[in-house]
Amino acid sequence: MPAGGPAEGKTPSYKSPPPRCIPIEDSIPPLFALVIGIDKYMHCSYGLRELHGAVADADAVYSFLSETLHVPENRIKNLRNEEATRATIEMEIKNLGGNPAIKEDDPILIYYAGHGAEANAPSGWPCANGKIQMLVPHDFNPSGSDDSKRGQGILDERLTHLLQDVAEKKSDNITVILDCCHSASGTRAINHDHTFAVRGIELPEDYSIPQDLLHDIPHNKARAIVAAKGYEKSGLLSHVLLSACKHGQEAGERDGHGAFTSALLSLLKKSGVDKLTYTDVIAHLPDLPGQNPQCEGVYQSRYLFNSKVASPQRKLYPIRSSDKPGQYVLEAGEAHGITNKAEFIVFTSGDMSSSALGPVIASNTTAFTTTCDFCARGDETPFPLTLPGFALQSRVGKRQNVSLLIERDERLLGVREKIVKEMQSDNEGKRGFCLVDSRDDEPDLVITVKGDVVHLEIMDKLCQQHGLTSMPFHDVKIDNPDFIHRILRSSADFYWHLRRSSHGGGPRWSHHAGVYET
C-alpha cells in the first residue's frame, strides 16, 4: 500500500483523503486538423444571413486542440470567413491526403461551423429523397449560378469523395464534426430574438445545381454525408461523422456560440478524448432544445481518434486486490468524478512502462474508493495483484452526480462537512454530489457568499439559455447550514429530472422548472 493511504477495510475520512493520483505527462499527439468557421458571407441576402458564433466556435475548437490537447499549431489549418471559399476548403481537404507529415493511422479532424443548405437534386442523380445537401462556403451564391466554378456549395457527395481519397492515402481514422443544419424553416419569419440564429439556409425552389458540377464525382463513390430521413449513414467507411442535429432539425447558435459545439467541448474537457467512444459522446451530451446530435459511420464504436490522442495530465489511481477473487479496490471514488461502469487499465508500475495487467470496470463507488470487477474480454482470466498497482481510466462511467463548487469561506465549512459526510455514507436511492475545486472544473452549482446571504449559481448551459441562472432562494442566511443542505438535496433531484429525458426522443424541457425545498 502506498504511504499515506487508508488502512484496508476502513473508509477514508474527509481529513485523510486517499493517496494523491499520479499525473502522467503525454507526448505530442499525432493529430492533424482542418478547422473552418464562417460568420460572414459574400452574397448576403434575406435567405442567407450572417452568423455570429461560427468563428467563435472554430476558435474554441482551435484553442481546445492547441491548449488542452497540445496539438502543435503547424498541424492545425484554420480557415475563417473570406478564407473559407469552396475552392480553398476542397484544396485543404485534398492537402490532408498529400501531407507527408501525416503517417498511416494518424488521426485527422475536420471541423466545420457555418451554414448548411439543401437543394433539389439534378435529374437522375441517386439520392434518398430527391435532395442534395451541402455546406455553404463564404463565396456561395444563394441565387444560383450556371458557372460550376463560382458560387457553388460543397455537395455532400463531393465531400464524401474527398474524404474517401484522404482515407485511401492515409487511413480511416478521420473525424468530421459539422455544426450546421440543412433546414431553416425559421428564416422566413421575422426573428425578434437577436441572440439566436439557425445555421442553415432555405434555398429558392428554383435553385438548381449545374450538371457539370457532378462530373468529377464517381457515382460508385458518391454517398451522402447527410442522408435524408434521419441521417441514414451506417455505411460510412472513410470517417466518423458527428453532426449537430438530425435531418429536419435546426442547429442553433445563441449568445455567440453554437449549442452543439459548446456542449461537445464541455464534455471533452471534462471526460477526456481518450475515455469516450463516438457513441459515448452522443450519449453523454446534455439535451439540446430542438437538436438531437447524431453519430454516423461504421467505426462509431471506436474511441475518439482511435485512442491515439490522450487527454493531458492523465491520472493513475492506486488499486489493490480485495478479498474476493477477480475483484479490486480503487483508491478513488465519487469525489474524483468516478462513477459506475467506468473502465480502467491496470499497470504494475506508476510510469506505465510495464505491460498492462488487464481491464477492470467499476461496480460500486463510494466517496473515496471504488470496487472494480475484472472485465473479461474473450478467454482472459482475472489477474493477480499481490502488490498495489496503478489504474488508468480508459472509459467514463454513468453520468456524474451533481458537481458542487463551494466558495472557500470559513462560514461555509458546515455546509461542506454535511456534503462530505453524505458522500461518505451509504445513501442508496439518493442522488449525490461530487466536490470540485474551481470553476475550470465546470461545476453544476457554485455556492458563494455575499454579506451574510448565500447565493447558488446555476452553471448548466441549458438552464442559463432559458434564463435560470440561480436557485430561487433569495434570503438564505449563511448561519443556517441545515437549510442550505436541504436546498442542495432538492437541487440534486432537479438536476436528475433535467438530465433524464431520452436523447433520441427530443428535449423535455419545461419553462416552469424550479427547485423546491423538501
Least confident segment among 297-311, 356-370, 436-450: 297-311
Answer whether 271's CB lies under 8 Å from 283's CB: no
Of 45-49, 147-151, 338-342, 486-490, the range with the highest mean pLDDT is 338-342
Taking each helix axis from N to C end, the angle separating 156-169 and 86-98, rounded to the nearest 10 degrees, works out to: 20
C-alpha cell at 369: 474508493
List pLDDT tens digits, range 451-467. Answer: 888 888 888 777 887 78
Query: What cell does 85 get?
Result: 471559399
Residue 64 — φ and ψ, nearest 5°?
A: -60, -45
Between these two residues, 276 and 46, which has the higher pLDDT value?
A: 276
C-alpha cell at 484: 442550505
What does the pLDDT read at residue 468? Answer: 83
Confidence band for 10, pLDDT divided at 50, 70 and 90: very low
Q: How many CB atoms lie within 10 A of CB 76?
A: 18
Mean model confidence pLDDT for the chain: 79
Which of 15-29, 76-90, 125-139, 378-392 is predicted with the least confidence, judged by mean pLDDT? 15-29
Is the predicted pLDDT of residue 201 greater than 90, yes or no?
yes
- Residue 217 CA to residue 146 CA, distance in Å, equals 18
370 forms beta bridges with: 330, 365
Angstrom distances, CA of residue 149 to CA of 6, 144, 266, 347, 443:
69, 12, 39, 56, 49
Smallest CA-to-CA distance from 454 within 472, 477, 471, 470 is with 477
pLDDT tens string 117-132:
999 887 777 666 788 8
SS3 362: strand
Percent of the chain with pLDDT over 70: 76
Q: CA geometry: angle at 463 spanning 198 and 422, to 5°?
A: 150
- pLDDT of residue 224 exceeding 70: no
pLDDT computed for residue 281 by the predictor: 92
Residue 9 CB neighbour total at 10 angstroms: 8
Per-residue model confidence (pLDDT) at position 259: 95
Q: What is the pLDDT of residue 218?
A: 59
Distance CA 485, CA 483 (A): 5
Task: Indicate whether 189 pLDDT > 60.
Answer: no
Mean pLDDT over 69-88 rounds to: 96
Starting at the edge strand that comes first in sequence, how are the strands of the sheet with 453-458 ordered?
433-435, 402-406, 445-450, 453-458
- What whole-number distance in Å separates Cα of residue 501 and Cα of residue 212? 47
According to the model, what pLDDT value does residue 399 have? 61
Lowest mean pLDDT among 43-57, 221-235, 368-382: 221-235
Residue 518 C-alpha cell reads as 423538501
Which whole number is the average pLDDT over 499-507? 40
Distance CA 10, CA 247 (A): 54
Which of 99-108, 231-240, 482-491 has the lowest average pLDDT?
231-240
pLDDT of the residue at 308: 60
Residues 54, 81: Cα–Cα separation, whole Å? 9
Span 99-119, average pLDDT: 95
For 264, the enclosing helix (H) or strand (E) is helix 259-271
With CA atoms as reference, report the closest residue to 47 among 209, 192, 187, 197: 187
Position 138 scores a pLDDT of 97
CA separation for the pair 410, 217 (Å, rounded): 67
Residue among 94, 113, 8 nearest 54 (CA) = 113
